[in-house]
């Protein structure tokens, strides 16, 4: 999940690696070369990893509303139809 907060961008991910769930919270700030890593932990259960991200978000921004985890969705973008190139007079 990607969240924009002020000029910063946060990436929250929960991924399965072998038999564990890895929670990751990265903060990208304009002008910085590398992101700031707030959370990078392994959990036995997926829900525990999500709860850790929600808890860390609340610690970073206590005045904001509680973070609601949203499941990722796949979006298929349709490419515009390619225009056929007409041969030039020299190519005919």
The encoded tokens of residue 78 equal 């349709």
Answer whether residue 13 is part of any domain: yes
Residue 83's pLDDT band (boundaries 50, 70, 90)?
Answer: low
Mean pLDDT of the chain: 86
Answer whether residue 79 is part of any domain: no
Query: For residue 15, how many other CB atoms are within 10 A of its CB?
Result: 11
**Nearest to 6, CA basis, from 60, 70, 72:** 60
Query: Residue 26: which domain range?
Result: 2-60
**pLDDT given at position 69:** 87
What's the start-to-end Cα distance of the chain, in Å? 52
Residue 72 pLDDT greater than 90, yes or no: no
Q: What integer is the mean pLDDT of 35-53?
A: 92
Answer whether residue 83 is part of any domain: no
Q: What integer is the mean pLDDT of 57-69?
A: 90
What is the share, in percent, of the chain residues with pLDDT greater than 90?
50
**Nearest to 3, CA basis, from 42, 53, 52:** 53
Rounded Cα gap, residues 27 and 77, in angstroms: 27
Identify how many contiguous H helices and E strands the chain contains and give both numbers: 1, 4
Answer whether residue 65 is part of any domain: no
């Amino acid at each position: 999940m990607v969240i924009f907060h002020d000029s910063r961008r946060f990436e929250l991910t929960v991924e399965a690696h072998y038999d564990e769930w890895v929670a990751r919270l990265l903060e990208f700030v304009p002008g910085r070369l590398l992101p700031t890593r707030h959370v990078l932990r392994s959990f036995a259960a997926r829900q525990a990893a999500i709860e850790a991200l929600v808890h860390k978000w609340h610690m970073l921004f206590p005045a904001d509303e509680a973070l609601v985890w949203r499941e990722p969705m796949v979006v298929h973008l349709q490419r515009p139809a390619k225009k056929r190139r007409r041969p030039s007079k020299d190519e005919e």
